[in-house]
Amino acid sequence: MFPADIRHIMQRILTGLFTVLVSTISLSAAEHDQPRDSLTGTKRNIVTKIIDYFGTANKHELSRRPDFSIIGGPHYSSDTKFGIGLVAAGIYSTDPSDTTLYPSNFSLYGDISTAGFYMIGIRGSHIFPRDTRRINYDIYLSSFTTYFWGIGYTYNSRDKNKTSYKDLRVTISADYLWRIGRHIYAGPTVEYNFIRASDIKANEFLWGGESRSTNSYGIGVTARYDTRDHLTDPYSGWFIQIDQRFYPRFLFNGNYNFSATEIGINNYTSVWKGGVIASRAHLDYTIGHTPWGLLPSLGGSHTMRGYYEGRYRDKIATDVTIELRQHIYRRSGAVVWLGAGSIMEKFSDFRWKDILPNAGIGYRWEFKKRTNVRLDLGFGKGEWGFIFNINEAF
Residue 208, pLDDT > 50, answer: yes
Q: Is residue 1 included in any domain, yes or no?
A: no
List pLDDT tens digits, range 313-359: 999 999 999 999 999 999 999 999 999 999 999 999 999 999 999 99
- Please report whether residue 38 resides in a domain: no
pTM assigned to the model: 0.79
Q: What is the CATH number of the domain that holds 154?
A: 2.40.160.50
Residue 41 domain-assigned? Answer: no
**What digits encode the pLDDT tens for the residues 25-34?**
344 434 444 4
Question: Pairing between strand 213-226 and 184-198?
Answer: antiparallel
Instruction: Report the DSSP pairing between strands 383-390 and 133-148.
Output: unpaired
Residue 320: CB partners within 8 Å, gap ≥ 6? 279, 280, 281, 282, 339, 340, 341
Spatial contact of 374 and 388, defined as CB atoms under 8 Å apart: yes
> Between 18 and 117, whose confidence is greater?
117
In a domain, 162, yes or no: yes
Please, which residues have CB within 8 angstroms of residue 154's CB and are 6 or more apart in sequence?
A: none
Residue 20 lies in a domain: no
Q: Is residue 40 part of a domain?
A: no
Integer angstrom CA distances of residue 196 from 199, 207, 293, 368 = 10, 12, 8, 36
What does the alpha-carbon distance between residue 359 and residue 336 come to, in Å, rounded to a whole number?
8
39 located within any domain: no
Nearest to 216 by CA among 293, 283, 157: 293
DSSP labels, 184-221: EEEEEEEEEEEEEEE---S-GGGGTT--SEEEEEEEEE
Q: Which of 73, 88, 74 is nearest to 23 (CA)?
A: 88
Domain count, the chain: 1
pLDDT at 37: 52
Cβ pair 295, 313 in contact under 8 A: yes
> DSSP readout, 281-344?
EEEEEEEEE--GGGS-B--SSSSSTTSPTTSSB-SEEEEEEEEEEEEEETTEEEEEEEEEEEEE
Any domain includes 253: yes
Q: Could you give the CA distance from residue 157 to residue 370 in angstroms, rounded to a whole number? A: 39
Q: What is the pLDDT of residues 162-195, one digit of tens each?
A: 998 999 999 999 999 999 999 999 999 999 999 9
Q: What confidence tens digit (pLDDT) does each residue in 68-123 have? A: 778 776 666 666 677 888 888 888 999 999 988 989 999 898 888 887 888 999 99
Q: What is the pLDDT of residues 218-246, one digit of tens each?
A: 999 999 999 999 988 999 999 999 999 99
Domain residues for 141? Answer: 57-390
Q: Residue 76: its pLDDT value, please?
A: 64
